[in-house]
Structure 1
Amino acid sequence: MDTPSDFNFLNQSVAEKHNPYQEGEYLVIKTYPREKYLRCVHRSFDYHTARNKRDLENLAHDYSSFGLRIFHQGKLYQVIDNGKPGKISKQQDWKIHPDYRDAHYDQNAEGEIIVCDCSYPYFSALVSYSSLRDDPIVESQPVTCLVDDNGRETDNCPNCGSQLVDDDVEEDYEDEDCVPVACEGCSNYHGQVYNGSLLVCAIHPHGSDSESCPDFTK
């Protein structure tokens, strides 16, 4: 038995949202601000109609941008002047795995879906591990969250290659030759490099001036 919701699909704009994109179809999509899912505001097989729709959307919105793409060989491509596919688009119709989508909206979950500058979604999860001094460390680790590629740890965006991990902490000075004599065995010792400079500890950022430290703590 048909319901009022079923009759909504008689409206072309409603039905199009549920139909898969077809080869050669022009899409007017929102390119900024970036969202977790592709927002398509217009679909057409006519290049000039789609181009005019893109121009109207950009005139009507002050804080959003819209671009014209063509669906070609299962991917979105930018469109050149004659309506043919140009280079591949950074924005694609990403399919996020349901488990990560649910975790994103779960307030008790320690992680969320983040969108790269190119529109690629990834899941920023909190991971715990121990340092060489057995100190607990908790930090964010990006993992892929698409239906066909999920749970894989990555430091760079699989789509555009940009770095996803903050690289301020460059290395851990655990080598005994690098630890100042006054700091050996001190629980205050930090010994990590930030922007090329070693942070010895919070009390003496550049280390003690002598071979003994007045703030040495076991």
Structure 2
Amino acid sequence: MDTPEDFQFLTASVVQQHNPYQEGEYLVIKTYPREKRLCCVHRSFDYSIARNKRDLENLAHDYSSFGLRVFHQGKLYQVINSGEPGIISKQQDWKIHPDYEDAHYDQNAEGEIIVCDCSYPYFSALVSYSSLCNEPIAESQPLTCLVDDEGREIDNCPNCGGRLIIDYEDEEDWEEDYIPTACEGCSNYHGQFYNRNLLVCAIHPHGFDSKSCPDFTS
């Protein structure tokens, strides 16, 4: 028997969201704030249409930003002016293992999924052990939680290499770890966290995926 949910698939836009991305397809994705899964608001094989859709989305939202990517050789790439793939995007379509998704929403589970500044999701598990004085100690240990790489202990992000375990007592090291190379010395740099999301600057809220930024201001 058909259900109301079944009839939704008669709408092309709904069906499109369930189809895998195809080679050469342009995606308009949310780039800030980061989410656990890729948030794609538009898909098209027409570069001009996708570019205009990105611009409209950015005009329509005050607290979110959207970027344009192209699906190439199984990965998302930045798009250069001609519509061709540029450098590989740090933000990808990550596939989280269902077991870790369940644990994230389980109030009795000692851990949660956290999104790195580059968009990579990992599971922060609470690990308990005893000190040399037999005192109980509980610390967070990052674990990989993707379908093709889950349960591996990590100290650095496999996607961007950033440190995931930070000693908050050393504020200078903490700040240095989060300043992107392109932002060092820039007066536009903000570098504050809001609900676990790092706001790099007002021009590029999620940072600039290159060693140099066109909007750098000394």
Query: TM-score w.r.t. structure 2 length?
Result: 0.76
Q: Which has the higher contact order (CA 8 A, sep 6+)?
A: 2
Residue identity opposite 2:85 in structure 1 = P
Secondary structure in 2 matching 1:58 = helix
The alignment's C-alpha RMSD in Å is: 1.6
1:80 matched to which residue of 2? Answer: 80
**Cα distance in structure 1, aligned partners of 2:156 and 2:42:** 32
2:195 matched to which residue of 1? Answer: none
Larger Rg: 1
| Structure 2 residue 48 is matched with structure 1 residue 41 | no
2:66 matched to which residue of 1? Answer: 66
2:124 matched to which residue of 1? Answer: 124
1:160 matched to which residue of 2? Answer: 160
1:181 matched to which residue of 2? Answer: none
**Cα distance in structure 2, aligned partners of 1:157 and 1:19:** 29
Residue identity opposite 1:167 in structure 2 = D
Which moves more between the two structures, 133-142 or 91-100? Answer: 133-142
1:9 matched to which residue of 2? Answer: 9
Secondary structure in 2 matching 1:15 = helix
Residue identity opposite 1:82 in structure 2 = S
Question: What is the CA distance between 1:3 and its match in structure 2?
Answer: 3.4
Residue identity opposite 2:69 in structure 1 = R
**Cα distance in structure 2, aligned partners of 1:61 and 1:165:** 33
- Write out the 4+ residue segments of structure 1 that deviate beyond 6 Å after TM superposition: none
Residue identity opposite 1:115 in structure 2 = V
Secondary structure in 1 matching 2:55 = helix
2:92 matched to which residue of 1? Answer: 92
**Cα distance in structure 2, aligned partners of 1:13 and 1:4:** 16
5+ long unaligned stretches in structure 2: 173-218
Residue identity opposite 2:150 in structure 1 = N
The 5 Å alignment of 1:183-194 reads none
Secondary structure in 2 matching 1:157 = coil
Residue identity opposite 2:7 in structure 1 = F
Distance 1:132 1:28, change over 3 A: same
| Structure 2 residue 138 is matched with structure 1 residue 110 | no
Residue identity opposite 1:146 in structure 2 = L
Residue identity opposite 1:41 in structure 2 = V
2:21 matched to which residue of 1? Answer: 21
5+ long unaligned stretches in structure 1: 170-193, 197-218
**Cα distance in structure 1, aligned partners of 2:129 and 2:3:** 53
**Cα distance in structure 2, aligned partners of 1:195 and 1:92:** 30
Question: What is the CA distance between 1:129 and its match in structure 2?
Answer: 1.6
List per-residue Cα deviations over 1:86-112 (Å, max 9, x = no partner): 011111000000010001001111110
Secondary structure in 1 matching 2:94 = coil
The 5 Å alignment of 1:123-142 reads 123-142=123-142
Question: What is the CA distance between 1:133 and its match in structure 2?
Answer: 2.8
**Cα distance in structure 1, aligned partners of 2:93 and 2:87:** 16
Question: What is the CA distance between 1:168 and its match in structure 2?
Answer: 4.7
- Number of residue equivalences: 172
Percent of paired sites with the same residue: 81
Secondary structure in 2 matching 1:17 = helix
Residue identity opposite 2:163 in structure 1 = Q
Question: What is the CA distance between 1:137 and its match in structure 2?
Answer: 1.2
